[in-house]
A = this chain, B = another copy of it.
Amino acid sequence: MGKAGLPLASVVADSGLEVIGIDVDERRCEMINEGVNPIPEEAGLDELIRKHGGKTLIATPRYEDARECTNFIIIVPLFIDEGHRPDYSILEGAFRNVGKILKRGDLVVLETTVPPTTTETIVREWLEGESDLLMGDFYLAYSPERIMTGYSISRLRGFPKIIGGVDEMSGTRAFELYEKFIPNLQKVSSSRTAEFVKIIEGSYRDVNIALANEIFKIAEELEIDFYEARSYANHEYCHIHLPSTGVGGHCIPVYPWFLINEMEKREKFSLAELQRTSRKINDEMAGHWAEKIILGALKIDRPLSQVKICLKGITYRKGVKGIYHSRNLALAKLLARKELRVGVYDDLFSKEEIESLGLNFMNPGDADLVFDCFELSFSQ
């Protein structure tokens, strides 16, 4: 019942199906069952939780409460470790718990974004291992979430959603279930294809953000206004993205590694070279902006170590209170390590919250130089 699961569960319940929603957080389950939306920033969710919470949508921390369900949808986070390798522990836990209550004829669908072949290999093994059933006794499919924090409900109701089975029958069964609550549903040939589709969307975005960052830096070097050039370059055949301090969050900076790592494992060392280069370019943008900030601070008539620098915006995306792989956070830490007098300000964070991240708080009004991490603009 997280950011991704709760909107989905609400939409399923709203289609007239009965839903048991599982979450480890007992307090969160109580809220949902009382009709209170724990994710108020998600547009349209209040209404659905009020309508279905505690009625056709019942939240619980216990997998056993879902024993009578015949369809299981898993949508838990998959993080990557410091070596950019997926950490399957949360995913494995969820599937092993489902495996324990799995019955003959049941359908299991994974929605978490995973490396291609995950569903047909390790997910299948976890389920078979716990259930004493074999593939064919149960059905297994994959349908990647394509939601966006804040817009999940409208995405589920308007955006195309794809689904593919580990085998033919699984694909058919999963399609029949999902078409009950997803208006724009498309069946693809396999779970592997569905997994791949989601990853390459992320790779497209990451590579194109890297290209925007590269062109932005070249425009700076040539003293050309990037934004003016972009506005005339973009048309039907050209979609140059926007520059940034890098790419943060749970999605775009993570997914390319699934392909990069898989190709390395297969000893195809250069097969994901463009995606690897893009990752590097985007991650290095923090260094680019650090240099620009220092050059800005040098122009202030005071010893550099005394110039008060405020970074405005610490989250990975404007308006979303999340810092997973936030490059704005990386930028703040990079400057702090240089022993500059750096403080951070963010509308969504209190002074205490910022200090708990190991950073100094600073009001923009108290700074000699303010850098807006989202607007990429300086003010004094």
Q: A residues engaging B (CB < 8 A)?
A: 116-117, 159-160, 162, 186, 188-190, 192-194, 196-197, 200-201, 203-205, 207-208, 210-211, 214-215, 217-219, 221-225, 228-230, 232-233, 235, 237-240, 259, 262-263, 266, 268, 271-275, 277-278, 281
Contacts and interface: CB of A to CB of B under 8 A. Distances in A.
Contacts of A233: 197, 200-201, 204
A86 to B, nearest CB: 16
A277 B207 CA distance: 12
Given A193-B229, A197-B229, A277-B273, A259 B204 contact: no
A237 B200 contact: no
B214 A196 contact: no
A232 B274 contact: no
Nearest to A186: B232
Q: Report the copy number of this chain in the oligomer.
A: 2
Contacts of A273: 214, 277, 281
Given A193-B228, A211-B204, A274-B278, A268 B160 contact: no
A297 to B, nearest CB: 22
**Which of A159, A200, A204, A208 is most buried by chain B, counting CB atoms within 10 A of its CB?**
A200
A227 to B, nearest CB: 11
A232 B192 contact: no
Contacts of A275: 211, 214
A235 to B, nearest CB: 6
Contacts of A222: 116-117, 192, 196, 262
Nearest to A277: B277
A228 B271 contact: no
Given A218-B272, A232-B188, A224 B207 contact: no
A117 B221 CA distance: 12
Given A218-B263, A237-B205, A224 B193 contact: yes
A64 to B, nearest CB: 37
B281 A228 contact: no
B215 A203 contact: yes
Contacts of A160: 232, 235
A225 B277 contact: no
Given A210-B274, A239-B204, A259-B218, A196 B229 contact: yes
Contacts of A215: 200, 203
Nearest to A162: B232
24 contacts: A116-B224, A160-B235, A188-B228, A192-B222, A193-B224, A193-B225, A193-B232, A196-B222, A196-B229, A197-B233, A200-B229, A201-B237, A204-B233, A204-B239, A207-B211, A210-B274, A214-B272, A218-B271, A218-B272, A222-B262, A239-B239, A273-B277, A274-B274, A274-B281
B271 A205 contact: no
Contacts of A224: 116, 190, 192-193, 196
Contact of A228 (B189, B208, B235, B268): B189
Contacts of A277: 273-274, 277
Contacts of A117: 222
